[in-house]
């Protein structure tokens, strides 16, 4: 089975049905630290319902900071993060309140390059597959090629947050 193909140049790339069916397992594994290094569960209130929405994501380190990349473009989690003003919780063997700050398209290429060459991947072949399936790029893409597609992939910088806390299974504002 090939990875989910997110290479289309559209505002939103809907996940494949097999991916959606397995998302609950992904949330369980990432929340409990049983997934690969860097995988976490992003929890953010739904923009319409206010109910917590959980999505497995990969935290990428670039420029000494943590980032999240939306491979699906203007995905549901991106819209929910924007509606929540960037406030969210990352879960992996515990919870960590964070503020997600969206980067402009001009700031995204170094983070996308770090995603493609993510140190946890086994080989250059794996990095080439990531470039192709997730970003529609050839193996070993240039900085210019990455910059040309950066506008299709929202990227958020992870900052430590204290405004939100976890109140059971929903996010709420601290009273202190």
14 contact partners, CB below 8 Å, separation of at least 6: 72
Cβ neighbours around 139 below 10 Å, total: 13
Q: Where are the domains of the chain?
A: 17-161
Cβ neighbours around 13 below 10 Å, total: 21
pLDDT-derived band at 169, boundaries 50, 70, 90: very low
Q: Assign 3-class secondary structure to 53-101.
A: EEEEEEEEEECCEEEEECCCECCHHHHHHHHCCCEEEEECCCEEEEEEE
pLDDT over threshold 80, residue 173: no
pLDDT in tens, 123-165: 778 888 888 888 889 888 999 999 999 999 999 999 998 654 4
pTM of the model: 0.80
Given a contact cutoff of 8 angstroms between Cβ atoms, the answer to whether 41 and 30 are in contact is yes
pLDDT-derived band at 113, boundaries 50, 70, 90: very high
pLDDT over threshold 60, residue 86: yes
Q: How far apart are CA 138 and CA 155, in angstroms?
A: 21
pLDDT over threshold 60, residue 168: no
Rg, Å, the chain Cα set: 16
* pLDDT for residue 142: 94
Q: How many residues appear in the chain?
A: 176
pLDDT-derived band at 103, boundaries 50, 70, 90: very high
Q: How far apart are CA 51 and CA 33, in angstroms?
A: 23
Cβ neighbours around 63 below 10 Å, total: 11
Tokens coding 8: 């289309």
pLDDT-derived band at 170, boundaries 50, 70, 90: very low
Given a contact cutoff of 8 angstroms between Cβ atoms, the answer to whether 64 and 147 are in contact is no
pLDDT over threshold 90, residue 118: no
Q: How far apart are CA 114 and CA 148, in angstroms?
A: 16
Q: How far apart are CA 120 and CA 113, in angstroms?
A: 14
CATH topology of domain 17-161: Pnp Oxidase; Chain A (2.30.110)
Q: Looking at per-residue confidence, does 163 or 70 come out higher?
A: 70
pLDDT-derived band at 120, boundaries 50, 70, 90: low
Q: Which of 3-7, 77-81, 166-170 has the highest mean pLDDT?
A: 77-81
Average pLDDT, the chain: 83
């Amino acid at each position: 089975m090939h990875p989910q193909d997110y290479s289309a140049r559209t505002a939103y790339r809907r996940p494949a049905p097999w991916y959606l069916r397995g998302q609950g397992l992904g949330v369980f594994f990432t929340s409990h630290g049983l997934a690969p290094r860097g995988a976490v569960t992003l929890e953010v209130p739904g923009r319409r319902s206010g109910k917590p929405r959980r999505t497995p994501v990969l935290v990428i380190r670039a420029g000494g900071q943590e980032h999240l990349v939306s491979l699906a473009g203007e995905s549901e989690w991106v819209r929910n993060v924007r509606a929540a003003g960037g406030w969210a919780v990352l879960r992996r063997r515990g919870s960590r309140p964070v503020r997600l700050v969206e980067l402009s398209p001009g700031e995204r290429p170094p983070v996308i390059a770090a995603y493609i060459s993510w140190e946890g991947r086994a080989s250059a072949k794996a990095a080439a597959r990531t470039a192709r399936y997730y970003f529609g790029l050839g193996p070993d893409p240039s900085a210019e090629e990455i910059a040309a597609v950066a506008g299709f992939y929202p990227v958020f910088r992870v900052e430590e947050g204290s405004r939100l806390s976890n109140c059971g299974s929903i996010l709420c504002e601290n009273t202190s």
